[in-house]
């Protein structure tokens, strides 16, 4: 029996607003982070990921107070990412109430950080984030919210993250992100073969056909949805219905 696919609401936050772009660029304000988090919780979401789009960790308007508020009325797992560079940053994030941290740039700059976090807080609180852009027949991993190539091949990098101790891998397709043109299924499938960690697939969801195309070829642990929820084009219950229809179909 396959485990049910998790539905994660992804909130990219800049200066206290949830924002949304296309290919991680051209950001527009779409709502208040705490209001949206509560709305998705009430809709039955499985998990919420807050990503600081500008890594403004040491600004006055950092994500920590948003997390502190969210944890008071949202009783599903909460992950936080963006700008976490040191063990102390991670400690503050978990202290604010986050259950998990999401690391990308911090890991690329220092893979030892991943090992330290896993050793100190456990792999269960650590999501390795990969921003992937198609390059020839493969994908290149990016950092700084899709702005800079890291120099790593995505699949090689995923294996390194796994070996260093991440508990889950969040992969965002920069090519698909914000387009509503469906997930990069080939990317999800390649990552599934490359690693043995649960995979969270992010970028491109627009509707039922995207879920069925993804689940026809791979078995990710979760999908992350942003724009389709933020713009009110769907809600969590409807996505859940799409997922359950696919899973029932694959078992028949």
Partner 1 sequence: MTAMRVGVIDYGVGNLRSVANAVLEIGAEPCISSDAAELSGCQRLILPGVGAFGEGMRALRATGLDHLVRDAAGSGTPLLGICLGMQILVESSTEFGEWDGLAILPGQVEKLEDPQAQGTQRLPNVGWLPLSRPAGSNSLDELFAGIEVDARFYFIHSFAVAGNSASAVATAHYGNREFAAVIARENVIGTQFHPEKSGPAGLRLLRNFLS
Which of 21, 77, 8, 18 is CA-nearest to residue 52?
18
Beta carbon nearer to partner 1, 46 or 174 = 46
121 binds partner 1 (CB under 8 A): yes
Give CA–CA dist 99/128, Å, rounded: 14
Options 58-66, 95-103, 132-140, 204-212: segment touching partner 1 (CB under 8 A): 95-103
26 binds partner 1 (CB under 8 A): no
* 131 is annotated as an active-site residue: yes
77 binds partner 1 (CB under 8 A): yes
* 12 is annotated as an active-site residue: yes
Beta carbon nearer to partner 1, 140 or 162 = 162
Beta carbon nearer to partner 1, 148 or 244 = 244
Exposure of 124 in the CB half-sphere (CA atoms within 13 A)? 2
3-state helix, strand, coil in the chain (%, to 5): 40, 30, 30
DSSP assignment of 182-251: ---HHHHHHHHHH-SS-EEEES---SHHHHHHHHHH---SEEEE-HHHHTTS--HHHHHHHHHHHHHHHH
Give CA–CA dist 102/84, Å, rounded: 8
Closest separation in Å from C-beta 94 to partner 1: 7
DSSP letter assigned to residue 178: T
41 binds partner 1 (CB under 8 A): yes
Options 30-38, 52-60, 118-126, 244-252: segment touching partner 1 (CB under 8 A): 118-126
Closest separation in Å from C-beta 168 to partner 1: 6
List, in order, residues 6 or more apart from 136 with CB less than 8 Å away.
Answer: none
Out of 89, 131, 184, 210, pick the active-site residue.
131
- Residues lying near partner 1 in the complex (CB under 8 A) are found at 1, 3-4, 6, 41, 44, 46, 71-73, 75-77, 94-97, 99, 121-125, 167-168, 196-199, 219, 221-222
Catalytically annotated residues: 12, 131
């Amino acid at each position: 029996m396959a485990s049910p696919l998790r539905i994660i609401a992804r909130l990219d936050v800049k200066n206290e607003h949830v924002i949304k772009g296309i290919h991680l660029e051209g950001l527009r304000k779409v709502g208040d982070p705490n209001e949206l988090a509560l709305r998705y919780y009430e809709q039955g979401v499985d998990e919420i990921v807050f990503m600081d789009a500008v890594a403004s960790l040491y600004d006055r308007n950092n994500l920590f107070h948003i997390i502190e508020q969210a944890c008071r009325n949202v009783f599903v797992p909460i992950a936080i990412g963006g700008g976490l560079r040191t063990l102390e940053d991670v400690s503050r994030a978990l202290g604010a109430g986050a259950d998990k941290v999401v690391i990308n740039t911090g890991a690329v700059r220092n893979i030892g950080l991943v090992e330290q976090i896993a050793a100190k807080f456990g792999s269960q609180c650590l999501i390795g984030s990969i921003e992937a852009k198609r390059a020839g027949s493969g994908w290149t991993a990016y950092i700084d919210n899709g702005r800079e190539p890291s120099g790593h091949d995505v699949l090689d990098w995923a294996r390194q993250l796994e070996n260093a101790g991440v508990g889950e891998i969040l992969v965002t397709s920069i090519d698909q992100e914000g387009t509503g043109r469906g997930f990069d299924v080939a990317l999800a499938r390649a990552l599934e073969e490359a690693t043995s960690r649960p995979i969270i697939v992010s970028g491109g969801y627009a509707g039922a056909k995207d879920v069925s195309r993804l689940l026809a070829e791979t078995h990710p642990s979760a999908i992350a949805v942003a724009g389709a929820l933020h713009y009110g084009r769907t809600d969590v219950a409807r996505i859940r219905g799409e997922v359950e229809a696919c899973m029932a179909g694959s078992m028949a």
